[in-house]
Amino acid sequence: MMAEASKRSVVLGMRRGARMCCPNCGHRHLYRAYLKVQACKACGNDNTRYPADDAPPYFTILIVGHMVVAPLLFLPWIWQGSIALILAIVLPVLLLMILVMLPIVKGAVVGALWAMEAGRGGGTS
């Protein structure tokens, strides 16, 4: 069930990848471990060839930073409270959000690379 190149949509690939599904067929289990991308067991698409190396952590930090840190700067208790208390509250929240968001963002990046056919070793020129 290999998708044709003309039918590959970046939005579709990113949506499937963000759901941690194969961007090619939508079958579950894009990962075999926390962030280890695997070939699809349903359609055979080699998802390991999409080099989602540095982009997912960058985008995850950017998203979480805008969702948590930016709004916190408008709260007065951030500027008036104890630094130890603020760090004890904010750092675990940031860590948890980053660990939850990273596989979602990595899946979306893999889906975008699938749609653009930007795999290792076999790109179209």
Q: How many residues does the chain have?
A: 125
| Through-space distance between the first and last CA atoms of the chain, rounded to whole angstroms | 24
Confidence class for position 125, pLDDT limits 50, 70, 90: very low
The percent of residues above 70 in pLDDT, for the chain, comes to 90
pLDDT recorded at residue 102: 97
* Residue keyed to tokens 């759901």: 19
Distance CA(38)–CA(119), nearest Å, equals 14
Beta bridge partners of 37: 31
What long-range pairs does 93-97 form, CB within 8 A, spacing at least 24?
93/68, 94/64, 94/68, 94/69, 97/64, 97/67, 97/68
pLDDT(4) > 70: no
Mean local confidence (pLDDT), 35-42: 94
Q: Can you give the pTM of this predicted structure? A: 0.85
Compute the average pLDDT of residues 102-112: 97
Residue 67: pLDDT band (50, 70, 90) is very high
